[in-house]
């Protein structure tokens, strides 16, 4: 029996599993897609394609729709940042520590080097996300070389210049100090669905402020605090206290790290072609 991992392009280390084992006098191949990456995402390589399988088990998180184009997504993101700066408030971004945080930092870096980032303080307020970001830096050879080339050119080849306004807050004391800043900051913190983590503490201080903007950049499961905010509830319970939601909530879905409908079909296409060649009587559908 052989087991091969292929790059799924979803997050660093994500893999397509290809299992080959003898059965009935010949080798049989099972391919499990795992979470397939969005080719439009920054930093990740495109998912590898596998062209031969007897059985394919495939994810379909976004099998019913495509994502908004990345260019439009970045423009919407930049507009929210500009609007918040003009209002004198802070931007809160609940983000998953692996993958989503690093992509958001990449786009903030690009906006910074384009002279479009007005905020002069960006806080990465998650010990886990900080460690993962450092891991991404060490594993640069596994990342998309084209995206890194663009970033390196912008930073003039110096990785310390990627995002000069970025501050890493590792300790609880550093995290608490952020809440003394009443405007001009971007705060990235976990958890991605607002089910815990440091983002909850920032909500306690900022959800009640009309000049606060909460930017939702990931999927929010039913029943989570993040989903409640997306659904537009006016009151939420945070750390035992009921808070009135006066902050504006922005959902930006184009940053998804999952492949959209047409990308999923494109990845599955080679298998369908192989199946038609081997069994001409099987219809396309």
278, two tokens:
């081997």
pLDDT for residue 283: 47
Alpha-helix runs per DSSP H in the chain: 70-87, 100-113, 127-138, 145-154, 172-178, 198-206, 225-230, 261-278
Residue ranges of the domains in the chain? 2-65+258-278, 70-255
* Arch. (CATH architecture) of 70-255: 3-Layer(aba) Sandwich (3.40)
Beta strands 26-32 and 15-23, pairing class: antiparallel
Residue 91 in contact with residue 185, Cβ under 8 Å? yes
**Backbone phi, psi, residue 219, to 5°:** -65, 140
Q: Return the sign of the alpha-carbon dihedral for residues 274, 279, 283, 285.
A: negative
230, two tokens:
């997306």
Residue 115 in contact with residue 53, Cβ under 8 Å? no
Taking the C-alpha atoms of residue 145 and residue 86, their distance in angstroms, rounded to an integer, is 36
Residue whose structure tokens are 């979803």: 10
Taking the C-alpha atoms of residue 139 and residue 218, their distance in angstroms, rounded to an integer, is 24
Beta strands 213-216 and 91-94, pairing class: parallel
Residue whose structure tokens are 């003009």: 86
pLDDT for residue 40: 87
Q: How far is CA 22 from the centre of its chain?
A: 39
- Sorted by sequence, the CB contacts under 8 Å of residue 112 that are 6+ apart come out as 163, 164, 165
pTM for this predicted structure: 0.89
pLDDT for residue 273: 56
pLDDT for residue 141: 92
For residue 273, give the H/E element and its range.
Answer: helix 261-278
How many helices (H) and strands (E) the chain has is answered by 8, 12
pLDDT for residue 269: 84
Which ranges of the chain have pLDDT less than 70?
272-285
């Amino acid at each position: 029996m052989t087991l091969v991992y292929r790059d799924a392009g979803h997050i660093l280390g994500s893999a397509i599993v290809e299992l080959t084992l003898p059965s009935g006098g010949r080798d049989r191949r099972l391919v499990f897609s795992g979470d397939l990456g969005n080719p439009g995402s920054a930093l990740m390589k495109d998912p590898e394609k596998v062209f031969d399988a007897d059985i394919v088990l495939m994810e379909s998180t976004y099998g019913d729709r495509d994502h908004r184009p990345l260019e439009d997504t970045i423009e919407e993101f930049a507009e929210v940042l500009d609007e918040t700066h003009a209002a004198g408030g802070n931007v809160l971004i609940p983000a998953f520590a692996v993958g989503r945080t690093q992509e958001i930092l990449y786009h903030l870096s690009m906006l910074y080097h384009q002279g479009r980032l007005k905020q002069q303080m960006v806080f990465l307020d998650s010990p886990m996300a900080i460690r993962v970001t450092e891991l991404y830096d060490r594993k640069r050879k596994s990342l998309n070389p084209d995206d890194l080339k663009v970033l390196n050119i912008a930073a003039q080849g110096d990785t310390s210049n990627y995002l000069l306004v970025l501050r890493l807050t590792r300790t609880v004391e550093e995290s608490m100090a952020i809440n003394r800043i009443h405007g001009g900051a971007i705060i990235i913190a976990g958890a991605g669905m607002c089910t815990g983590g440091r983002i909850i503490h920032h909500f306690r201080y900022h959800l009640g402020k009309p000049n606060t903007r909460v930017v939702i950049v990931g999927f929010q499961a039913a029943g989570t605090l993040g989903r409640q905010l997306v659904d537009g509830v006016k009151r939420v319970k945070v750390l035992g206290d009921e808070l009135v939601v006066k902050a504006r909530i922005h959902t930006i879905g184009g940053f998804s790290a999952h492949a959209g409908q047409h990308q999923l079909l494109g990845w599955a296409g080679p298998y369908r072609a192989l199946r038609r060649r081997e069994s001409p009587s099987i219809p396309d559908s």
